[in-house]
Amino acid sequence: MCEKCSNRVKNAFEALDEVDSVSVSLEDGNVSLELNKELSDAKIKSVIEDLGYEMK
């Protein structure tokens, strides 16, 4: 992923009420979420896939 891609992912998760903060590691290809309430795996997967990416 590039910086633009990581910003797209970060912005998409920051728009969710359940998410307090997001960090994206370009080096590792990981996204870390700090949540204020439960967020289902299905919802996380949906956000990623709606942006055109795949979860590993």
Phi first, then psi, for residue 37 (nearest 5°) are -160, 170
Instruction: Name 35's Cβ contacts closer than 8 Å, sequence gap at least 6.
Output: 18, 19, 20
pLDDT along the chain (56 residues), means of 10: 90 97 92 97 96 89
**CA 55 to CA 44: how far, in whole Å?**
9
Sheet strands (E) in the chain: 19-25, 30-35
Q: Which pLDDT belongs to residue 52?
A: 94
Residues 27 and 37 sit within 8 Å (Cβ to Cβ): no
Q: Domains in the chain and their CATH numbers?
A: 3-50 (3.30.70.100)
Instruction: Report the predicted TM-score, pTM, of the whole model to 2 decimal places.
Output: 0.89
pLDDT of 45-56, one tens digit each? 999 999 999 887
